[in-house]
């Protein structure tokens, strides 16, 4: 099922963000944690934020606040890198842009095949997608990280995935907050 395209929200000043209703805050930050907009409400309850990094930390903490089953659901909400959803145009706007930033939308047939093998190995071993903050990596480091992390235990991999989700959330939150004006 293809998701309808939605424009990215206009970044808000910190004071405006702190003044939003919980509903407006949740709507503004709905795309921060993949297919999991309810975490924006959890983060909203930690306001007022002193700065953008505090807002980002609130989302990182929200991602870890759930039960183990909720954490697994959050990890599983992430798409496979260069997987079927990407090829079918079914990624969220956030994921599509991030995967494109690392060149994952321009892979050779051999690279697509390698991602297919890595994705399958991840699902076989962990029952999870390989989650990495692609904006902080390039194609080579993403491949290397996947191969390395296949050596993890399930517990280590869940922790690594949650760590990466926190990094993804941080960048997405910072994208949605207008930097303070320099005087």
User: At 47, is the secondary structure helix, strand, or coil?
Assistant: coil
Structure-token match 């954490």, residue found = 71
The domain locations on the chain are 80-163
The alpha helices in the chain, defined as continuous H runs, are 14-19, 22-28, 38-44, 52-64, 68-76, 84-87, 93-101, 109-126, 139-149, 154-175
pLDDT of residue 117: 93
The residue that leads in pLDDT, 10 or 98, is 10
pLDDT at position 3 over 50: no
What pLDDT is recorded for position 170? 96
Q: Is the pLDDT of residue 123 over 90?
A: yes
State pLDDT tens for residues 15-35.
999 999 999 999 999 989 988
Question: Which one is predicted more confidently, 148 or 134?
Answer: 148
According to the model, what pLDDT value does residue 83 have? 58
Please enumerate in sequence order all residues whose Cβ is within 8 A of that of 15, keeping only pairs 6 or more positions apart, or say none.
none
> Active-site positions?
78
57: tokens are: 């930390």
Task: Give pLDDT, residue 90.
Answer: 57
Region 123-144 average pLDDT: 93
Task: Report pLDDT digits (tens) over 75-117.
Answer: 999 877 765 545 555 556 676 677 766 677 778 889 888 988 9
pTM of the model: 0.86
- Kindly list the distances between the CA atom of residue 76 and the CA atoms of 83, 94, 157, 180, in Å, as whole numbers in the listed order: 14, 16, 12, 35
How much is the mean pLDDT over the chain? 87
The CATH class of the 80-163 domain is: mainly alpha
Residue 78: which of 60, 58, 94, 57 has the closest Cα? 94
């Amino acid at each position: 099922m293809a998701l309808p395209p939605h424009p990215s929200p206009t970044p808000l000043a910190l004071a405006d963000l702190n003044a939003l209703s919980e509903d407006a805050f949740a709507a503004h930050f709905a795309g921060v944690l993949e297919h999991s907009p309810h975490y924006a409400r959890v983060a909203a309850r930690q306001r007022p934020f002193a700065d953008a990094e505090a807002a980002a930390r609130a989302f990182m903490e929200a991602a870890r606040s759930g039960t183990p089953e909720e954490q697994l659901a959050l990890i599983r909400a992430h798409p496979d890198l260069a997987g079927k959803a990407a090829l079918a145009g079914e990624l969220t706007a956030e994921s599509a842009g991030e995967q494109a930033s690392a060149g994952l939308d321009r892979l050779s047939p051999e690279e697509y095949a390698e991602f297919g093998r890595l994705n399958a190995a991840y699902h076989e071993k962990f029952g999870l997608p390989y989650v990495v903050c692609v904006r902080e990596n390039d194609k080579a480091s993403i491949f290397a990280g996947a191969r390395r992390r296949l050596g993890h235990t399930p517990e280590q991999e869940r922790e690594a995935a949650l760590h990466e989700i926190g990094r993804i959330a941080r960048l997405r939150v910072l994208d949605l907050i207008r930097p303070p004006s320099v005087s």
